[in-house]
Chains A and B, each alone.
Chain A
């Protein structure tokens, strides 16, 4: 089983629908992140959480919200999906600050908003 699991792996939805992407990890890491990847733009940080009581906005948080339900679970929500949120979304974890530690990524959730 993967250490960082994302569900669903693929989702097609319509404009205006509410969507939740879920991430769970078995690595025991405190720090969790949500990124989106668009062709030609690399990965951009949406939200990050350093522990259960800590939530922080990243570079592109508008239109998104998150919930850290437990140390092992970090969910990303799109309250009212729009077509420009079509992208590949990645959850990642790290045991320490990225200053010294590496990031561990899930396999991604491909979201298409029609």
Chain B
């Protein structure tokens, strides 16, 4: 059974810092990995989707990398801003989930960017 872990559970940084959020998964047989952002009282918003054949994806100040062999993904946020404060979740689509196509979510990293 796929397990997804995100460490740390919470992170606080001063504005302007570059930072890295980590996601690890136990089964490297995956179709893709997604990063989501969750704001308090809101649903999840998809940030980046990396297919298993890709090494990284970029969107603005965000860069996500994928290393299937080691079961790791990182989300790099450049020049962090207070508006980046949110919980960031990663989710993995495992080949073993078969036709169910079930995503396995990590529990998230709560990021606070201090002005």
* A38 to chain B: closest residue by CB: B107
How many residues of chain B get a CB closer than 8 Å to chain A's CBs? 24
Q: Cβ of B89 < 8 Å from any Cβ of A?
A: yes
Q: Which of A63-114 contact B (CB under 8 A)?
A: 90, 92, 97-99, 102-108
Verify A103–B89 contact, CB threshold 8 A: no
Verify B43–A41 contact, CB threshold 8 A: no
Task: Report chain B residues within 8 Å CB of A39.
Answer: 107
A77 to B11, CA, bound (A): 36
Looking at the complex, which one of B4, B9, B32, B44 makes contact with A99 (CB distance below 8 Å)?
A: B32
Task: Report chain A residues within 8 Å CB of B34.
Answer: 102-103
Task: Report chain B residues within 8 Å CB of A90.
Answer: 43-44
Verify A98–B93 contact, CB threshold 8 A: yes
What total of A-B pairs shows CB separation below 8 Å? 57
Question: What secondary structure prevails in chain A residues at the interface with B?
Answer: loop
Verify B46–A102 contact, CB threshold 8 A: yes
A102 to B106, CA, bound (A): 17
Nearest CB of chain B from residue A74's CB, rounded to whole Å? 15
Verify B44–A97 contact, CB threshold 8 A: no
Indicate whether A42 sits within 8 Å of B106 (C-beta atoms), given known contacts A97-B101, A103-B46: yes
Q: Which of B56-115 contact A (CB under 8 A)?
A: 89, 91, 93, 100-108
